[in-house]
Structure 1
Amino acid sequence: MPRLALYTFGVLKSPLADPAPLTHEFYDIGGAIYRKISQYPGYLAHAEAADGDRGALFDADWGAWGEFAVPSWYGKGRTVETTALAATLSLWTDLRPAFEAVYTGLHREALNRRYDWFERTGRPNYVFWWVSDGVIPTWRDGVSRLEHLHDHGSAPHAFTFHHASAPDGTPHRSRGIGPKSD
């Protein structure tokens, strides 16, 4: 049975190593969100660095999730001191559970404050695609899909909640998700 991959990417206003309270707040909320989402029905897994410290994204061991990668438009630092980004890569059973996890509870509260932490880039900040059972998406897969979404818009290859595709490539039709609601 296919599984849904989700890659998110945002450029932070300040480096992850910034000692400012706003950066610490972002980390604290992010940790709480991961703990909550990992217990959500429909959540399967997310990329975690085996040995990563705060900001050590590029040099971390991501195991089966592959080497850490970012979109071509990211122009900030890549060292622990200068990295200014947040990225996630996760697997879900379907679009509905991912939608509910993103748009309810603590994650919804964080979304309401996203511009406190993130720059407005004019680029997509997330992308979905379907993977076969047993396949672990890589960071490079996520970047490729996000760049494809930016360059070509939603398609079965790379899509958003609002222009979602079912595993067979047809438009996803679920109440409150996709171009048409049932």
Structure 2
Amino acid sequence: MTHLAHFNWAALLAPTGDPLVAEFVDNTGRVNAIAERSAGFVWRHGDEDVAGRRIGWPLFTEAPTMIASFSVWESPEAFKAFVYKTVHGAFLRRGAEWFERGGSVNYALWWVPEGHIPSIEEARDRVEQLRAHGPSEAVFTLATLPASSKR
């Protein structure tokens, strides 16, 4: 069986200590706790608020306001339920208040074997593959979820 790995990134409008982004930053722990209690949750990287500075590739190290989230879910359905049907969805809808707007996709999804915890290097490779070649069976978005998702 396979699970769904998820990696996303975004640039805050201000550094994490700035009042402009305080509501978002102050609720990160709450949203993460909801993720961890959600049906289908498997794993998440524990340091989203500073992940951009720890990941160490140009996408993140050149922008001090860049943050990232990294998780694994049992299925696309479980992931979508968390993203859209919990308080996470309310924060997602308000994203323009805290994040720079860009025209490109800011997340990547890919299949991992059950029990596998993907590395930062694996996430980097998938992001770079998605940026260079677009969605494929190897890396995709929710909108381009491969037909093989019936694993």
- Measured against the shorter chain, the TM-score band is 0.7 to 0.9
- Matched ranges for 1:92-171 at <5 A: 92-165=73-146, 170=148
Greater share of residues in helix: 2
Change (3 A) 1:111 1:126: same
Q: What is the aligned partner in structure 1 of residue 4 from structure 2?
A: 4
Cα root mean square deviation, aligned: 2.3
Tell which structure's C-alpha radius of gyration is larger. 1
Query: Which digits, 9 at most, give the CA deviation of each residue in 1:119-169, with x for residues without a partner?
Result: 112221111101112321112222221222222221111111111126xxx
Change (3 A) 1:93 1:55: closer
1:24 aligns with 2:22: yes
**Aligned partner of 1:39 among 8, 21, 37:** 37
Change (3 A) 1:143 1:122: farther
In the alignment, is the contact (CA less than 8 A) between 2:3 and 2:114 conserved in 1?
yes
The TM-score normalised by the length of structure 1 is: 0.73
In the alignment, is the contact (CA less than 8 A) between 1:45 and 1:91 conserved in 2?
yes
Greater share of residues in strand: 2
Amino acid of the residue matched to residue 26 of structure 2?
D
Residues of 2 paired with 1:128 and 1:55: CA distance? 21
In the alignment, is the contact (CA less than 8 A) between 1:29 and 1:110 conserved in 2?
no
Q: How many residues align?
A: 150
Amino acid of the residue matched to residue 117 of structure 1?
W
TM-superposed CA distance for 1:74, in Å, is 6.3
Question: Which runs of structure 1 show a deviation greater than 3 angstroms over 4 or more consecutive aligned residues?
Answer: 54-59, 69-75
Query: Which digits, 9 at most, give the CA deviation of each residue in 1:36-66, with x for residues without a partner?
Result: 11100000110114xx9x647535xxxxxxx
Identity %: 29
TM-superposed CA distance for 1:101, in Å, is 0.6
Change (3 A) 1:87 1:2: same
Change (3 A) 1:73 1:41: closer
Q: What is the aligned partner in structure 2 of residue 63 from structure 1?
A: none
Query: Which digits, 9 at most, give the CA deviation of each residue in 1:60-113, with x for residues without a partner?
Result: xxxxxxxx245537632xxxxxx2022011011011000111011211100111
